[in-house]
Amino acid sequence: MTYGSECWPIKKQHANKLHAAEMRMLRWAGGVTILDHIKNSHVSGSFRVTPIQEKLTENRLRWYGPAMRSHHMTRRVLEMSEKPRGRGRPKTRWMALIQKDLKEANNPAETTQDRHSW
């Protein structure tokens, strides 16, 4: 389900759909139906599975660290300046999502250069 999630600029809507699919799979694996009225937190807790949103964040940051350490084309593309945006709500950008993940993890972007601490 999370194949290629390192480069998804995911929206809340997509995260909710992934969470619903994850819960459907966990309920199916546990033999629990919705009619049993068992909370999702109990079902996911019994399998000891981390939430899919945390796995997506982990995958993004795992890919971002080595991409920023190398002098490969990937880093050059990530550092390119963006053109001015048009009218309306701005689209969710991958780099903005990474900045939000770094802020939530209390991890400055400069730590990507130190492989051991990253």
Q: Where are the domains of the chain?
A: 5-77+92-113
> What mean pLDDT is reported for the chain?
85
- Distance between CA atoms of residues 29 and 22, nearest Å: 11
User: Which residue do the tokens 């995911």 mark?
Assistant: 10
pLDDT digits (tens, 9 = 90+) for 37-83: 999 888 888 888 888 989 998 888 888 888 887 777 877 777 777 77
Strand, helix or coil for residue 12: helix
SS3 71: coil
Instruction: Please report which confidence band the pLDDT of residue 116 belongs to, taking 50, 70 and 90 as the band edges.
Output: low
